[in-house]
Structure 1
């Protein structure tokens, strides 16, 4: 069994709300992303249900005549439902303690389980080459799952968009960044 899962962070968006669309620059980035992935075989696309994620992958899906499946497990991690002016410091603490949970939010471990379950579903699917399109917070937790050294700094250095390739074989997983910012 050899599989590749491309893990993609969405392009530049107008905001953080679930219905926030891509900016004009984000739409251009989505076209660049489609061109970047054009020579790679893709059998399946699974996206966060958030509009910015769907719009990011639409150009590639249309060019390859692929359906975009949405999966609520790929939605962005909610750190808290209350306003936290010091949210960056709180987020950093949540990477240090993955069980830390703020009011109305989910812990890093809870969010990690969501995205790892999507990966595990793809691992057992017929698709050899898949795409997961999601958000910086949840993707950085997946990066940490496969690399203990990835964490808060991995989140800080993610670009919009960003692309990682997770290569899975029978007894080995390897994740690497393949996106080179334009």
Structure 2
């Protein structure tokens, strides 16, 4: 298994609610630089947060490569008082499902009805780590190359799990950046950097 981790593209800093869309430049980046970068990695499965800004980030790449998106509520934004004034409705409409080509057969590793408001650190940690365990159990010995797309805190917790490093979930992770873990170190695949298509997760 190979894993790549992505934080959504640029969105309004003062609005991180469920339906918040990307800025125009975020949509443009998703359809150009980011898509081109992802096209070099031989990705054959996409797991995404159900939040619209994340789905918009992966959609150009997914569409060009005829890949459906697997929404997992483990990857949803942290449901804290800092972000929300009440528990958000995270229901994807039929239009969303069609627009983003969501795989309806997939059952999220975390039931969205179990999300509480506000979440505490332990609850956030547990849902993300359960998702990471799901990846290892399902794909650990496979040749799958998987993109995991989400939010800053969520991506940081995934990186902490696979690198076995104590990465604080609040550590700044730039919007639109792609990363992987190699030799238990986090590597950012920034524009202009050399890509190593043989990256393997040393923890697997």
TM-score scaled to structure 1, two decimals?
0.74
Matched residue, 1:151:
168
1:36-78 Cα shifts (integer Å, max 9, x gaps): 1111111110110000000000011011110011111110112
Instruction: Indicate conservation of the 8 Å contact 2:159/2:181, yes or no.
Output: no
Instruction: Indicate conservation of the 8 Å contact 2:149/2:155, yes or no.
Output: no
Shift of the 42–72 alpha-carbon distance from structure 1 to 2, 3 Å rule, reads same
**Please, which runs of 5 or more residues in structure 1 have no aligned partner?**
84-102, 168-172
Matched residue, 2:17:
17
Matched residue, 1:162:
177
Matched residue, 2:80:
79
Matched residue, 2:195:
none
Instruction: Indicate conservation of the 8 Å contact 2:9/2:26, yes or no.
Output: yes
Say which SS state the counterpart of residue 61 (structure 1) adopts: helix
Matched residue, 1:105:
118
Query: Larger % of strand: which?
Result: 1
Q: Is 2:190 the counterpart of 1:180? A: yes
Shift of the 82–58 alpha-carbon distance from structure 1 to 2, 3 Å rule, reads closer
Number of equivalences? 154
Instruction: Indicate conservation of the 8 Å contact 2:50/2:76, yes or no.
Output: yes
Say which SS state the counterpart of residue 184 (structure 2) adopts: strand
Instruction: Indicate conservation of the 8 Å contact 1:21/1:52, yes or no.
Output: yes
Shift of the 175–43 alpha-carbon distance from structure 1 to 2, 3 Å rule, reads farther
**Please, which runs of 5 or more residues in structure 2 have no aligned partner?**
87-115, 193-204
1:9-60 Cα shifts (integer Å, max 9, x gaps): 0001132010001111111221211111111111110110000000000011
Deviation at 1:175, TM superposition (A): 4.7
Q: Structure 1: how far apart are the matches of 2:85 and 2:43?
A: 39
Q: Structure 2: how far apart are the matches of 1:111 and 1:117?
A: 10
Superposed CA RMSD in Å reads 2.4
Matched residue, 1:6:
4
